[in-house]
Structure 1
Amino acid sequence: MDTFLGFQINNYPQNNNPVGTVDIQEIASVIWQSKRIILLIATIVTSLAVLFGWAISSYKSEGYFQMEMSFADFKRLQTAISAPARWQDFAKTLNKEQLATIREENFRSPRQLASLIEPIYPVTRSEMKDIPNTALKNEGADISGLKISYHAATPMLAQQGVLVLGDFLRDTVILLNYRDVVRKRYTDHRGFAQKFDNDAITARYDLEQLKIKKASMQSILREYPDSARLENRQPVTITDGNERFLSPVTQLVAIETDIADKGRDLPRIIRDQKINTINLRYYEQLQDFLNKSTSGNTFLASLPTIKKALNLNQEDEIDRSVYNNISIDDLKAHALYVEKTSFIASPLLPQKATPGLLKSGSLGLILGLIIGSGLALIRYFVSKPKILPSPQPAVELTIEKVIPNLI
């Protein structure tokens, strides 16, 4: 018992194991004593993890698809392949074996398709800093290709999925580009048809006016024969109005020259008009066929048939010229969409599955040990008797002691 300022203070004994402290040895002992139940729980969790890993494990194949485009065209392509009926239309061109190797739900979900296709940029952001000429940074296409990936249960199925997806992209791009090109060219040729018609009307009118002018000048020469002996370049002056004219012979020569020029212009206009008429007929048939097409690859393969349906005369130079130009366009399209728009190399044949049984089993073992140890510690501390905290030191006040000190 201590005394402080006249107070008698009784100190009761403290508890040597305060609440809130952790004894590592105690925890280790609990875990060691419960090692059998912990190992049992770890075994169960590891087995479940291995089974789950085996169920979700898949092989991932990747391929690099060469397809140059702007970023705006890439976003447009993403929208097109995500259209509800786009995959159904393309799936009609696949055989049963190809359809059996892929999961069609992957091609119907816009989010899933976006995860399978990634753009490849010709220059990365870090590489832009190393380019000395800033003008070169804006040259070329925004996107040089696409990285295509696909997951499947076997390596062959994963590789086949990448090939199908690449063909799906090419098929969609063909339809998108041709719909724009054919519509524009058909509209242009319709406008050219009216322009050439007006040009022909104007050329015929000008030619008729020149012929009338020529006849009038010949009449003047017959009526005034002496005018033919004037100097060709000597102007003739009319006194009343002070007008000055070239001699009738000189004017007649100029008129003949204009008639010759107009005579050459009119056949050229008629030739261009005939060429445009054939092209207009071709693009009209092309547009009608394209509106009914649901597959770009099928449409591309049908171009020679549509060209042949024009029934152009190969003995006629104009018909043969149009036929050759159409053939050149077909060759360019084949080179662009078949040879250039393709995989840079064959898609990878994966060797290992992800995440794999070893990885799943390791994670399951760690998780099982943690769960088992946690349950053992919870069980121990819940069943452990509660130790009440030691009472606080009490202060005993004695009136006899307090009053004299205060006085």
Structure 2
Amino acid sequence: MEHLNQTRKQATSPASAVDYVIALRAARKWIAAATVAAVVIGVSGALYIAQYRSEGFLQFGGPIPQAPETLERDPKKEGNTGIVLADYKRYAAIFNTSDRFDSFLQANKLQGVEGIGGLRKAMATGDGINKMVEPIFPFTKVDAKELMEQPKDGGNNVIGLRIAYAADTPANAQRMVGLLGRYTIDSIIYSNYSDLLRFKHIEISSKVTRLDNDIITMNERLEMYRRKGEVLKKIVSNYPEAANKSAAQVISVTEDSARYLSPVTHLMSGEVEALTTSETIIRLKREQAQNLLLREYYDKAKNLLDSNLSGEALLRGLEPVKESVFKGKDLDNEVVKEVYNMISIDNQRAINLYLGKTRFIAGPTLPEKRNIRLSSVLLLSLLMGFFLSAAVVLMRKWWAVNMDGVRE
């Protein structure tokens, strides 16, 4: 009886480390199979989830926004390039919206492009395009530490964008990076010209009215000089002997004498002032005629803006608008020709800046490998499979020992 009790006590005692090692040894084939299965599942899942990552560097080819013909140009800033940080943040707020992106796709009929669905989902996330588009500065914090100075005169503008995107195929990744570059510059163009075209028509209309008032004022002044001249001519004809005498107007008075201008001098001065006023009226009428043409141009350009959602299409559509405005106009007239040339130059400059010089100078790359490290995935899957399967064996051994003791 005492021997039986001793045997039961040994049976219910906790298993030693040797027992667990023996259990692992006995289950080594199962552990190996589970580890291999974990490796296969891990690598397959990683290959299925992993994507191809393409990158590109989009360079701004000049100062953006470039001052159009109706804005003052600062010669000191001609050498600057890129976008002022405050302006870039304003543009980013515009192109970092899924609504703007959908409008761009609709305007350019890009909804059916392969891979566009994934990009639309990425745009709809919280950070949106901020994860894919990164501004590039010529002067970084590291540069500041090394050079011990800060950029001056706007020298640290955003000079370009680093664009990156991952997709299921190399071609889709490359295509979407190119499309993102086109989309960002399209949004910048649309933002600039929507501001310009919406307000310029009102500004020029106001200027035409102001010029009209200035012409009325100058005509009244010219009429005054005419009346004054007629009166002076009568005085001279009635008093010919006064032509050489000081009898018209006091110009200086002292205690001993007074000096006067003769009527002839007054008449000559009035004619000179009338001539100057006539030239001013001619200049104002010329300026008014040009602004009337500009108002007609901006009126039609604003209609183009209201019916368009693409910045690139808007920019390219300004030339046909210009041609429609000047159709039937006398281009041999210097007043008309000057406005025509001015609009043409600015449209060509804008197309060269936004659609020519602003371009990818690196990429979009065509990735050859997926953005994962198979060696790391293989090692991690191997370790995870081995330790998990071993843990299962050890837990079963522990359960068997403790449960047998409880039942007895």
Q: TM-score, normalised by structure 1?
A: 0.81
Distance in 2 of aligned mates of 1:25 and 1:245: 133
Which structure 1 segments of 5+ residues have no match? 1-18, 389-407
Give 1:209's aligned amino acid. Answer: M
> Is it true that 1:32 corresponds to 2:25 in the alignment?
yes
TM-score norm. by structure 2 comes to 0.81
Counterpart position of 1:128: 144
Q: Do the aligned residues in 2 keep the contact of 1:235 with 1:247 (CA within 8 Å)?
A: no
CA contact (8 A) 2:20 2:397 kept: no
Q: Secondary structure at the match of 1:245?
A: strand
For the Cα contact (< 8 Å) 1:232–1:250, is it kept in 2?
no
Secondary structure class of the residue paired with 1:129: helix
Question: 2:371 corresponds to which letter in structure 1?
Answer: T
Per the TM alignment, residue 133 of structure 1 is displaced from its structure 2 partner at its CA by 4.7
Q: Which residue of 2 aligns with 1:202?
A: 217
**Offset of 1:74 from its aligned partner?**
2.9
Q: Which residue of 1 is the match for residue 83 of structure 2?
A: 69
Q: Give RMSD over aligned pairs.
A: 3.0
Aligned to 1:112: 128
Instruction: Tell me whether 1:318 sits opposite 2:330 in the alignment.
Output: no
- Once structures 1 and 2 are overlaid, which stretch shifts more, 335-344 or 72-81? 72-81
Amino acid at match of 1:378: M
Q: CA deviation at 1:308?
A: 0.2
Determine helix, strand or coil for the equivalent of 1:146.
strand
Deviation at 1:82, TM superposition (A): 3.9
1:161: how far off? 0.9
2: distance between equivalents of 1:202 and 1:233?
27
Shift, 1:121, TM fit: 2.1
Q: Which residue number corresponds to residue 58 of structure 1?
A: 51
Shift of 1:337: 0.8
1:45 maps onto 2:42 in alignment? no
**1:343 is paired with a residue of what secondary structure?**
strand
Unpaired stretches in structure 2, ≥5 consecutive residues: 1-12, 61-81
Query: Aligned to 2:331, what secondary structure does the other structure show?
Result: coil
Between the aligned partners of 1:139 and 1:77, the Cα distance in structure 2 is 18
Letter in 1 for 2:364: P
1:339 alignment partner AA: G
Aligned to 2:323: 308
Q: Which residue identity does 1:129 align to in structure 2?
A: K
**Letter in structure 2 aligned against 1:306:** V
Secondary structure, counterpart of 1:302 in structure 2: helix
Between 1 and 2, higher relative CO (CA 8 Å, sep ≥ 6) is seen in 1
Is the Cα contact below 8 Å between 1:54 and 1:356 reproduced in 2? no
Report the counterpart of residue 162 of structure 1 in structure 2. Answer: 177
Question: Does residue 270 in structure 1 map to residue 285 in structure 2?
Answer: yes
Instruction: Report whether the alignment pairs 1:384 with 2:384.
Output: no
Q: 1:285 aligns with which of 300, 304, 307?
A: 300
Residue 253 of structure 1: which of 248, 265, 268 is its match? Answer: 268
**% identical aligned pairs:** 27
The answer as to whether partners of 2:54 and 2:365 remain within 8 angstroms in 1 is yes
Deviation at 1:52, TM superposition (A): 0.9
Contact 1:131 1:137 (C-alpha < 8 Å) held by counterparts: no
1:315-370 superposed Cα distances (whole Å, 9 cap, x missing partner): 11111100000001101111121112221223111121022544433321111111
Q: 1:215 aligns with which of 224, 230, 235?
A: 230
How many angstroms apart in 1 are the aligned matches of 2:121 and 2:164? 15
Q: What is the DSSP-based 3-state SS (H/G/I as helix, E as strand, rest coil) of the residue aligned with 1:314?
A: coil
Contact 1:61/1:155 (<8 A) preserved = yes
Report the Cα distance in structure 2 between the residues aligned to 1:48 and 1:377, rounded to whole angstroms: 23
Q: Is the 8 A contact 1:82 1:110 kept in 2?
A: no
Choose from 100, 105, 108 the match for 2:114: 100
Where 2:116 maps in the other structure, the secondary structure is coil
Deviation for aligned residue 1:187: 2.8
Larger Rg: 1
CA shift in 2, pair 1:102/1:84, >3 Å: closer
Structure 2: distance between partners of 1:170 and 1:270: 39
SS at match of 1:361: helix
Report the secondary structure of 1:181's partner residue: helix
Bigger shift: 179-188 or 332-341? 179-188
Alpha carbons of structure 1 residues 98 and 385: separation in structure 2 relative to 1, 3 Å: closer
Match of 1:400 in 2: none
Paired letter, 2:106? K
Letter in 1 for 2:338: S
3-state secondary structure, aligned to 2:164: strand
